[in-house]
Amino acid sequence: MPNTFTKGNIQTAIWGGGLGRISGLDGVWLSIPTGHQAFVQTMGTGSDPNLTLSVVTNADDLATILWQPLSTIWVKKCRIYFGEGGSVNTTHKASFVRYNIDADGDLSSGAIVGLTTTNAGYDDYSQLRSSDLIIAADNRVTSSQILIAFVMCVDAVNTAFSAKCIMEYTT
């Protein structure tokens, strides 16, 4: 369950954990869970995560990855941690995306809030890495939008993988 801490007008939200069933998902955008994740929601293989998603049979998977403010916020900073659970080395990418969400849970009008970064290291279970994303000028998130944090294991993927998103924002 996400934790939120308040310091003045700047607030911090933290979420993440072990990603579910990722074997064979190298080079695919993987969603970072906000709670228990039995099956990872994937969002494409492009340079950035997909900017739309239609809920077909994956409402339970979508519910485990979204973070939604109840009032309008402005994202100030975002750091994404990632750790492999095996000896296979890989490069990682991270991204942070805002979506509109409708009454059925379909996502549209995605916009990159934390610009996609690449960690050029070749990481395995002996390194815990992080990426500080560059926040886009359009960093406003309304109460009718959601945020999803992503990571990609570019070259290869290990059976076990964990990730965490730390976001600072103002109201």
For 31-75, write each residue's pLDDT tens digit: 999 988 888 999 999 999 999 999 999 999 999 999 999 999 999
Q: Could you tell me the residue range of the domain that residue 51 belongs to?
A: 3-170
For 110-153, write each residue's pLDDT tens digit: 999 999 988 877 888 999 999 999 999 999 999 999 999 999 99
d(CA 22, CA 3): 25
Tokens 């939120």 map to which residue?
Answer: 4
Q: Would you state the structure tokens that stand for residue 29, as one six-digit string?
A: 């955008």
4, pLDDT greater than 80: no
pLDDT number for residue 144:
96
According to DSSP, the residues that pair with 28 across neighbouring strands are none
Domain with residue 55: its CATH number is 2.60.120
Provide the number of structural domains found in the chain: 1
Q: What percent of the chain has pLDDT over 70?
A: 95
Find out whether 34 and 17 touch, Cβ atoms under 8 Å: no
d(CA 10, CA 24): 39
d(CA 139, CA 12): 15
Closest CA to 110 of 150, 79, 78, 154: 150
1, pLDDT greater than 60: no
pLDDT number for residue 37:
87
